[in-house]
Amino acid sequence: MSIAFDPFVITLAKFLIEAILVYFLLMHGIYFLLIILGAWEQKKYHQGIHFGEFKRISESSLTLPISIVISAYNEEKMIIDTVLNSLSLRYPQFEVIVVNDGSEDTTLGLLIERFKMFPAEHVYSKRLQTKPVHNVYRSEEYSNLLVVDKDNGRRADANNAGVEHARYPIICQIDADCVLEEDALLRMIRPFLDDQYVVAATGMIRPSNGLIVHDGKIISRGLPKNWLPMFQYVEYLRAFQWARAGLSKLNSMLCMSGAYTLVRKDIFLKVGGANLNAVVDDFELTVSIHRYIQNHKELGPLRIAYVPDPGCYSEVPETWKALNSQRNFWQRAILQSLIWNRDMMFNPRYRMVGMFGVPFFFIFEVLSALVEGLTILLAPFAYFVGLASLTDIALFFIFGVVLGVVVSVSAVLLQEFSRYRQDKTSSLIRLLMTGFFEQFGYHQFHTYSRIMGIYDLLIKGKIAYGYRVRTGYLSPLDNIKIKDRV
């Protein structure tokens, strides 16, 4: 069956089909190379850790003190565990600053009650614009805990307020739903101690769904129970464990996760802090730091380091609605930042960031959703005009699925040959199955969310986050219940 069309339209469609084929091959090829590069980086990282390395760092008088900034907005389900977890970290000198960003729930009350907080004077140098701060609280129990209570101004504003109250030269930004490994800060500070030109470092994040946490301590690290967080687990593995390490090797890593990042306070202030107008401040902050580095080459080979060590766990959405909201939000953030920084695209002045990082994120992170959408529209058209038979179209989609499965399964398999091998074979089988099934439904939903993200930003001008729900950590009691049920 074929319908007659203008020859130009047919030629254009033919060209588009071929271009899409090349595009997907190129995209998955680059991802595959990044995964290999990331694996290589991780091997090098582990080889560089000597016997007693973290003990040495924890005992050294020269280890830089850190201010941990936790921004919290309506986080009553998780905030106590997160703060307890931060306070129990193994690190010689650090403070924890919780910024209550105008929460409408009991976040502040819980903090005041649990940590015996009292209002205190705190003088600081006002260098960033933030929403008004109502009160600063200190704890009777923990001398290194500070709570800043302020008007709601979104995460960037809260982070800026936290950094202004920070005393130490290194800032560690974490989200209120994050839980850190006991020696996470020791691992993250290492690049700063080894290389004076490191201005920021970001680490590997894994989903905390499935993690059992009690009094802020991680009791066990299981895989999520449900399929949706499992899909995201594999996605995190692919993106954080490998691709980001590969991008970092190419000095093109444009997204330090706001959930787990260390940055020099002076650099944070010099780039003007977190951008209040950005959809998400972390992507924009990373690009700003890259811009600063390239505009100040006279300061030496400044760089952003990546620590390929899973030191942080963050909750991922458990419902399709929340996932849609999150991915829509991320897509808007990347697109907005790339639009703002479009002058960096293919600009040799910005070296690898300009010549590879920014174009890579634009062509393969932003446009891939649109290209996939276009493919779905083009397929019936190609069939109706006789450009492709049903078998051709089926083969084309199978080819796309196979490419996606190869990349995801490679990420899982590579992990098996690393230090972070699954300690249960059943978990490995689950991960492999997830890598396969991810391509059937989840991936298409993800593409839809991203297309809507582009639409929401460019047409509606939407900035706000959207729907979000916290489930909280599993407690040892939950685990007993699960076992009993089994």
Using CB under 8 A, list all residues that contact other proteins. Answer: 47-48, 50-52, 55-56, 60-62, 120-123, 125, 193-196, 413, 416-417, 421-425, 428-429, 432
Q: How far is the CB of 423 from other proteins (least distance, A)?
A: 6
Beta carbon nearer to other proteins, 342 or 421: 421
Beta carbon nearer to other proteins, 177 or 438: 438
Beta carbon nearer to other proteins, 121 or 298: 121
Q: Which residues of 340-376 are buried (b: 16+ CB within 10 A; e: fewer)?
A: ebeebbebeebbebbbbbbbbbbbbbbbebebbbbbe
Beta carbon nearer to other proteins, 133 or 193: 193
Beta carbon nearer to other proteins, 400 or 435: 435
Q: How far is the CB of 327 from other proteins (least distance, A)?
A: 30
**CB-CB contact of 432 with 409 (8 Å):** yes
Q: How far is the CB of 118 from other proteins (least distance, A)?
A: 11
Helix (H) or strand (E) holding 282: helix 281-295
Measured distance CA(288)–CA(272) in Å, rounded: 9
290-299: Cβ within 8 A, 24+ apart: 290/254, 290/344, 290/350, 290/353, 290/357, 291/341, 291/344, 291/350, 292/267, 293/199, 294/349, 294/350, 294/351, 294/353, 294/354
Concatenating the DSSP letter of every residue in 224-246 gives PSSHHHHHHHHHHIIIIIIIHHH
**CB-CB contact of 216 with 81 (8 Å):** yes
Q: How far is the CB of 226 from other proteins (least distance, A)?
A: 23
Query: For the chain, how far is it from start to end, CA to CA, in angstroms?
Result: 55
**CB-CB contact of 154 with 276 (8 Å):** yes
Q: How far is the CB of 218 from other proteins (least distance, A)?
A: 19
Beta carbon nearer to other proteins, 257 or 434: 434
C-beta atoms surrounding 424 within 10 Å? 10
Beta bridge partners of 198: 303
Q: How far is the CB of 475 from other proteins (least distance, A)?
A: 27
Beta carbon nearer to other proteins, 429 or 469: 429
Q: How far is the CB of 227 from other proteins (least distance, A)?
A: 20
